[in-house]
């Protein structure tokens, strides 16, 4: 009988290397690499009294000299909790002597006949679209529309699915996400508990390319020293599956164009953006992550995150017509009241 993986947690970090050494049978499971993430894999382990699959994502530091993407993923999850967006629940682990994140199998919380399809698969179902071709957020919405029409899915379910994606895009703008492509969105499909076909945005699991985790340590120090450089670099954080061409002012899908496109589309989006500005709290997220990992996020990354967060929030407030200083005063006041 394999040991519980939780027993290998030390200082908030699960030692997968040690676990695999003591539980060699686990290695026999023929893990399958995710289609789009060559380094990520599934592993069958014992956790919380039952055997389950966990998804292991080693820190991708072959291009970077740091492993901040492990922390950015956890911070992203905390920020999304503050505005009610579902994400996976990740933990830090040590794998192959490097940091990694692990998360539970998201589909285990759904009914037996439900399974996951990737956003790319939805796009590929539409003959004209392949994952290599350029696409934008409206193509993803079209693919969902076609899927719902084909499967006779209720209009309200389709609307909710599209609305959830729009909310994710808005929240991604706040968190400076740079990699929200169709293959970074998963969908739970199949028969729901009422035996009806359904489609639902799955809890987000590709969240590490956010909050400035795509920079080398030297670049981070340079940006912390130079406000202009920081502003320029932060403006270049955009998503691949962004605003449609006809709404673009520049060649690339600039975050501001995407935000205007989404808030102009629907008042609910505008309200959600305001809700994000009011409710997302980076200090709270840092505090919760440090509590979860029972340790500290590297100091320089923490400072960098605070600076870029404020920079982006100020710019978003300008777009939304919100007084940034008043917003911060309100947040400070609410915190004071909570403490009292």
Partner 1 sequence: MSIEVLWDELNILTIEKKDNLFVSSVNVENLLNAKNNGFPVFLLKQISTVSDELPFIVKNRIGCIKNKLRFKDNISEDELEENIYDYINLTGCRRPIDKFSINIQVN
Residues that bind partner 1 (CB under 8 A): 30, 32-35, 38, 42, 53, 105-107, 113-117, 120-121, 124-127, 130, 146-147, 150-151, 186, 189-191, 197
* Residue 45 or 305 having the CB closest to partner 1: 45
**C-beta closer to partner 1: residue 171 or 189:** 189
Least Cβ distance, residue 222 to partner 1 (angstroms): 33
Classify residue 16 by burial, with Cβ atoms within 10 Å: 0-12, 13-18, 19+.
Answer: buried
Q: How far is the CB of 187 from partner 1 (least distance, A)?
A: 10
Contacts 24+ apart (CB under 8 A), 212-215: 212/68, 212/72, 212/176, 212/237, 212/301, 212/304, 212/305, 212/308, 213/68, 213/69, 213/71, 213/72, 214/64, 214/69, 214/178, 215/64
Nearest to 72 by CA among 192, 202, 213: 213
CB-wise, 189 or 286, nearer to partner 1?
Answer: 189
The rounded distance, in Å, linking the Cα atoms of 78 and 283 is 10
**Nearest distance from C-beta of residue 53 to partner 1, angstroms:** 4
Rg (the chain; Cα; Å): 21
How far is C-alpha 254 from the geometric centre of its chain's CA atoms? 19
For partner 1, give the closer residue by CB, 85 or 189: 189
- In whole angstroms, the minimum distance from the beta carbon of 80 to partner 1 comes to 20
Residue with Cβ nearer partner 1 (55 or 239): 55
CB 140 → partner 1: shortest distance, Å?
15
């Amino acid at each position: 009988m394999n040991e519980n993986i939780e027993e290998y947690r030390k200082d908030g970090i699960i030692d997968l290397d040690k676990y695999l050494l003591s539980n060699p049978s686990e290695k026999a499971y023929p893990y399958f690499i995710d289609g789009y993430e060559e380094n990520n894999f599934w592993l069958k382990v014992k956790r919380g009294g039952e055997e389950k699959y966990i998804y292991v994502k080693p820190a991708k530091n072959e291009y970077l000299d740091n492993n901040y993407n492990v922390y950015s993923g956890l911070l992203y999850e905390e920020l999304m909790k503050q505005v009610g967006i579902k994400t996976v629940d990740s933990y830090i682990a040590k794998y192959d002597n490097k940091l990694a994140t692990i998360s539970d199998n998201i589909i285990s919380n759904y009914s037996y006949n439900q399974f996951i399809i990737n956003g790319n698969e939805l796009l590929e179902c539409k003959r004209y679209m392949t994952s290599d071709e350029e696409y934008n957020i409206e193509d993803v919405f079209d693919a969902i529309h076609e899927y719902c029409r084909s499967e006779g899915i209720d209009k309200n379910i389709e609307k909710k699915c599209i609305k959830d994606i729009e909310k994710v895009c808005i929240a991604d703008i706040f968190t400076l996400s740079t990699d929200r492509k169709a293959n970074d969105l998963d969908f739970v499909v199949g028969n729901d508990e009422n035996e009806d076909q359904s489609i639902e945005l799955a809890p987000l699991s590709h969240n590490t390319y956010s909050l400035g985790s795509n920079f080398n340590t030297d670049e981070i120090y340079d940006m912390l020293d130079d406000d202009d450089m920081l502003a320029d670099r932060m403006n270049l954080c955009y998503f691949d599956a962004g605003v449609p061409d006809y709404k673009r002012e520049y060649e690339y899908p600039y975050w501001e164009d995407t935000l205007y496109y989404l808030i102009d589309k629907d008042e609910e989006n505008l309200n959600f953006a305001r809700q994000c500005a009011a409710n997302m709290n980076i200090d709270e997220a840092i505090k919760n992550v440090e509590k979860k990992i029972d340790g500290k996020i590297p100091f320089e990354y923490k400072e960098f995150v605070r600076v870029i967060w404020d920079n982006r929030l100020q710019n978003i407030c300008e777009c939304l017509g919100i007084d940034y200083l008043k917003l911060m005063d309100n947040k400070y006041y609410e915190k004071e009241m909570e403490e009292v």
